[in-house]
């Protein structure tokens, strides 16, 4: 990941923090809790995931990772499910060859 993307992720985190800090709705609820005699400590965690987007030409040239395999699942979906030892109906019947037993 290049430095520009890292900087953008940092900016995104700061923007999320600023949005929460300036939210009148959140401030109002916190105020109501304090009126009930409680201190409020608000801690939020944001997980930011990135997937690099590829050009349509590159996908057409043989990258089948996101191409629909069978049914509503992509090949990446099926690989993930297989890593969890989960099979789909399409693959239980032998489609795709290498399958694991369903849980």
Q: Is the pLDDT of residue 12 over 80?
A: yes
**Pick from 100, 3, 73: nearest CA to 11:** 3
Residue with the larger pLDDT of the pair 41 and 60: 41
Q: Record the pTM.
A: 0.47
Is residue 90 pLDDT above 90, yes or no?
A: no
Number of domains in the chain: 2
Task: Please indicate, yes or no, whether residues 16 and 31 belong to a single structural domain of this protein.
Answer: yes
Whether residue 57 sits in one domain with residue 43: no
Q: In this structure, are 8 and 36 located in the same domain?
A: yes
Give residue 77's pLDDT band: very low, low, confident or very high (50, 70, 90): confident
User: Is residue 46 located within the same domain as residue 63?
Assistant: no
Asked whether residue 57 falls in the same domain as residue 41, the answer is no
pLDDT mean over 53-63: 60
Rounded Cα distance, 69 and 82, in Å: 13
The band of 18, judged by pLDDT with boundaries at 50, 70 and 90, is very high
Q: Are residues 58 and 38 in the same domain?
A: no
Instruction: Determine the structural domain holding residue 24 and report its residue range.
Output: 1-50
């Amino acid at each position: 990941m290049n430095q520009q993307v890292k900087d953008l992720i940092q900016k995104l985190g700061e923007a999320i923090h600023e949005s929460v800090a300036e939210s009148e709705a959140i401030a109002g609820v916190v105020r109501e809790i304090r009126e009930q005699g409680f201190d409020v400590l608000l801690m939020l965690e944001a997980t930011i995931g990135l997937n690099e987007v590829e050009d349509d030409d590159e996908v057409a040239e043989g990258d089948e990772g996101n191409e629909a395999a069978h049914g509503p699942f992509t090949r990446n979906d099926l690989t993930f499910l297989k890593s969890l030892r989960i099979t789909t109906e399409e693959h239980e019947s032998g489609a795709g060859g290498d399958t694991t037993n369903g849980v």
